[in-house]
Amino acid sequence: MRRHAPILPLVACLTVGLAGCDVANTLDVLPGLKNVRLNSQQQTIANQLITDVVANVQAATDLDLAALYTASGGTAGYRITHATPNKEAEQKRENQLKERVKQQFAKQRGNMKTTAVSTASVTVDGVDCVATTTQLQFTRGGVTQSHTVIRTVDPDGDLVKLVGDMTRSFKNGMAFKAHRERTNAADGSYTALFHSETTFKGKSRIVDWTRTGTADGTETGTGTIQRADGSKVTITITRTAEGVTVTKTEDTSAKVGVEVSQTDDSTEVSATIIDGTSGTAAGTMTVDSEATEPAAE
């Protein structure tokens, strides 16, 4: 993925408005709030928070994409959920995810290549299951991603656990890796753990979150972003049954926060920057999640 250039002129777009900026991908000062200004520290932190959230949400999506690819043999058909009594809601959620997968596949399926596959017998909660490990690669924006996907299914063919790892290396020396584990229950609920590390010039940014979901597709989650200087901010995540995920985070010491919203069937992300002093919105930004790299510093 290439760096999402429009995020970089955030300071200029905040302080001088839209002149000279790409309206579709930059920060817009909201009507009635034209006199709201963030100081330089807040502008830098808002930029980093948006980048961290969007890039890691996209990394989680890439882990999904790799898992769906391995499950479908390279097609857009798939099954990632455990059997659930709420069939109608489950089907609606899968249909939403399929639409997003179609968009990603249109861009990436030609770049995807399976490099190795192996299977093993495992026991999960006393049940004999089969774990299939698949290694694959695909390229986004000139950067190759290496994935390892482990899918564990029970004797009925239902997915009980999904583990994914990905690594990426950039030309500027930055390295990114992510790990996620999703455990499904028979009632349709699930728990997903996510961890990522971005390393640049010997320093690391670390993102962790835990999300729990129900059979109707709603989710809640919490996590942290640990920055290169060791400081941390918290993340809260909610997802509606209609497929809208909202991620919020705030730097309380700098008094600035962001709220990032994305639907399952789109890679377009809407970000709102919050002035922590007044609690009001200082502006909005539209970002393409596929074109956003992790923050290097």
pLDDT digits (tens, 9 = 90+) for 243-289: 899 999 999 999 999 999 998 777 889 999 999 888 888 888 888 88
Q: Please check whether residue 147 is in contact with residue 66, taking contact to mean a CB–CB distance below 8 angstroms.
A: yes
Q: Is the pLDDT of residue 36 over 50?
A: no
Q: What is the reported pTM?
A: 0.81
Measured CA distances, 25 to 3, 56, 154, 165, 274 (Å): 13, 19, 45, 30, 18
Tell me the mean pLDDT in the region 188-216: 93
Q: Is the pLDDT of residue 37 over 90?
A: no
Lookup result for tokens 């928070």: 49
Q: Please check whether residue 169 is in contact with residue 190, taking contact to mean a CB–CB distance below 8 angstroms.
A: no
Q: Please check whether residue 274 is in contact with residue 250, taking contact to mean a CB–CB distance below 8 angstroms.
A: yes
Q: Which residue in 187, 172, 190 sits closest to 80, CA to CA?
A: 190
Q: Could you say which DSSP state residue 88 is in? A: H
Handedness of CA 164, 165, 171, 175 (dihedral sign): positive
Helices 40-72 and 87-108, interaxial angle, to 10°? 100
Better-predicted residue by pLDDT, 156 or 269: 269
Q: Please check whether residue 61 is in contact with residue 194, taking contact to mean a CB–CB distance below 8 angstroms.
A: no
Q: What is the pLDDT of residue 242?
A: 81
Residue 49 confidence class, pLDDT cut points 50, 70, 90: very high
